[in-house]
Amino acid sequence: MGNSPMNGKARPVRVRIAPSPTGDPHVGTAYIALFNLCFARHCGGRFVLRIEDTDQARSTRESEQAIFDALHWLGLDYDEGPDVGGDCGPYRQSERLDIYRREVQKLLDSGHAYYCFCTAERLAEVRAAQQQRKDRIGYDGHCRTLDRDEAARRAAAGEPHVIRLAVPTEGETTFHDQLRGPITFQNSTIDDQVLLKSDGFPTYHLANVVDDHLMGITHVCRAEEWITSTPKHVLLYGAFGWEFPEFVHMPLLRNQDRSKISKRKNPTSLDWYREQGFLPEALLNFLGLMGYSMPDGREVFSLQEMIDSFSWDRVKTGGPVFDLEKLDWLNGEYIRAMPAEAFAARMAADRLVPEGTPDTTLLAMAPMVQQRVKRLCEVPDATAYFWRELDYPATDLLPSKKGQPVHDAVETRAVLEQVRSVFEQLPQWTTEAMESAMRALCDESEWKPRDLFMTLRIAATGRAVSTPLFETMEVLGREESLKRLSTAIGRLS
Ligand code: GLU
């Protein structure tokens, strides 16, 4: 059995993601959402979010909300979904149970599905025997030959049961994957899949196919880990007599050791990326880069550029290795590219700087800080010396070369006193004025700029590495800078 022809008529493109709300919102969900969204937007189609919450034990509303929040944060805006509505709802599978029961009844009536009354004990015995014989593990078809009416009566009388798909025992099932070409499975290797569980809930396979059909999904783009489920779905479409969607199985994101991305080896929660201060644009670019190449090979590209150029031909099939360093690099690029005003506003909005910091200060700091951070969460530490009392040992003020002191405490104190009086008299408190005055002072003394600037940097920031010295002092202001110089002089006494 293969994919059905599209009857020559192209249906309007509709794609979906179908995450299960169990645990934290996963970076893999965003990755698959990105490709679905790009394809949909490129073709003027629609992008749907469906919540697959049929695993009652593991699904939670908090996790569902976290998925909505994460997708909205990233700007992966879906056109239909539980929280935005749409014409094909409900978009939460737990609210569609009667639909699955209605649909599975059609399969019972047509003989494509059957009641199975096997107990857990019997299934365990069958399994153990198969293991011993080294046979394929799977249901042995015991209930498949039961009289249909009799089975229906037993089920109606309340006998515990599941409903299984009657998978053809011979032949093969082939489907076409957009990225991989035809993929064939021998039907003898496909289990008589449970469609409806004993608690009346559908399994993933039934609910997924019924919903994709009823929601008019034309292209199923999901992670490659679902490839082995697809023949079951293809058989189900066939059993229902429904048109197949196109299938696209995206390469999985991988850990460095090429195993499937896991939280033991990489942060997988989208909440973590938000908390660390990755910009949505940078994360999307990064996820795009994992599976997509731009026509001109560019690594930095926007969502709109990816949408405009989108083609399945440009999707890479090699398992992309998730490289956090690369994401840091990209995020740094995006941070530096932000207009200073936007970055200043962001520092305030995200409370990365003390509340009440004047806008002018933020704006003056912004370009310096943008050069020095890769994640927004680094801002408080990278800027701490703008606000906090400095805490450094007096010896840090003494310049040294290859571990040998260049100037002692007496000389250093003397030069700092000179600096203080020059700064007190400086007509204008600007970076240029400070720098030329300090270079002049070096010309007239034993001090090399390298040594003096380091001593001043410690005095002004308490750190050997900081934002540019004189710019920083300009932002600190004359009064605060002189105070810091006096503190340093005091420490050398
Ligand atoms: N509920 C599945 C998941 O959690 C959906 C897979 C699919 O897209 O068919 O990823």
DSSP secondary structure, 119-131, as one string: -HHHHHHHHHHHH
The pLDDT, as a whole number, for residue 9 is 64
Residues in the chain: 493
The pLDDT, as a whole number, for residue 69 is 98
Nearest atom in ligand 1 to the alpha carbon of residue 212 is: 9
> 380, 362, 361, 363: which is closest to 277 by C-alpha?
380
Ligand 1 centroid to Cα of residue 121, in Å, is 30
471 to 168, 348, 432, 474: CA distances (angstroms): 76, 20, 9, 5
pLDDT tens, residue order, the chain (493 aa): 444 444 456 789 999 999 999 999 999 999 999 999 999 999 999 999 999 999 999 999 999 999 999 999 999 999 999 999 999 999 999 999 999 999 999 999 999 999 999 999 999 999 999 999 999 999 999 999 999 999 999 999 999 999 999 999 999 999 999 999 999 999 999 999 999 999 999 999 999 999 999 999 999 999 999 999 999 999 999 999 999 999 999 999 999 999 999 998 999 999 999 999 999 999 999 999 999 999 999 999 999 999 999 999 999 988 889 999 999 999 999 999 999 999 999 999 999 999 999 999 999 999 999 999 999 999 999 999 999 899 999 999 999 999 899 999 999 999 999 999 999 999 999 999 999 999 999 999 999 999 999 999 999 999 999 999 999 999 999 999 999 999 999 999 8
CA 276 to chain centre: 12
Angle value at C-alpha 57, between 51 and 59, nearest 5 degrees? 25
- pTM over 0.85? The answer is yes
| Closest residue CA from atom 6 of ligand 1 | 18
Ligand 1 centroid to Cα of residue 55, in Å, is 12
The 3-state DSSP class for residue 458 equals helix
DSSP state of 257: T
CATH class of 97-204: alpha beta
Please answer whether residues 130 and 137 qualify as being in contact, where contact means their C-beta atoms are separated by less than 8 angstroms. yes
Q: How far apart are CA 284 and CA 338, in angstroms?
A: 16
Distance in angstroms between the alpha carbons of the first and the last residue of the chain: 89
Whether 263 is a known active-site residue: answer yes
Residue identified by tokens 């293969």 is 2
Substitution candidate for ligand 1 out of 52, 92, 210, 246 with most atoms within 8 A of CB: 52
- Structure tokens given for 189: 């290797």
Please report how the helices 409-425 and 478-491 are oriented relative to each other, as an axis angle in degrees rounded to 10: 160
In sequence order, what DSSP letters do the residues of 294-342 get, joined into one string?
A: -TT--S---HHHHHHH--GGGB--S--B--HHHHHHHHHHHHHHS-HHH
DSSP state of 433: H
CATH class of 394-491: mainly alpha
Q: Mind listing the pLDDT tens digit for each residue in 422-455?
A: 999 999 999 999 999 999 999 999 999 999 999 9
Ligand 1 centroid to Cα of residue 18, in Å, is 5
Ligand 1 centroid to Cα of residue 116, in Å, is 26
Q: Enumerate the β-bridge partners of residue 221.
A: 248
Please answer whether residues 216 and 46 qualify as being in contact, where contact means their C-beta atoms are separated by less than 8 angstroms. no
Which protein residues touch ligand 1 with a CB less than 6 Å away?
Answer: 18-20, 52, 208, 222, 226
The pLDDT, as a whole number, for residue 6 is 44
Q: Which residues contact 287 (CB under 8 A, 6 or more apart)?
A: 27, 30, 31, 34
Please answer whether residues 399 and 413 qualify as being in contact, where contact means their C-beta atoms are separated by less than 8 angstroms. no
Provide the 10 A C-beta neighbour count for residue 380: 15
Q: Strand 181-186: give its sheet, edge to edge.
A: 46-49, 14-17, 219-223, 246-250, 172-177, 181-186
Ligand 1 centroid to Cα of residue 327, in Å, is 26
Q: How far apart are CA 319 and CA 415, in angstroms?
A: 60
The pLDDT, as a whole number, for residue 4 is 43
Task: Write down the catalytic residue from 106, 263, 401, 483.
Answer: 263
Q: How far apart are CA 394 and CA 405, in angstroms?
A: 13
Nearest atom in ligand 1 to the alpha carbon of residue 229 is: 9
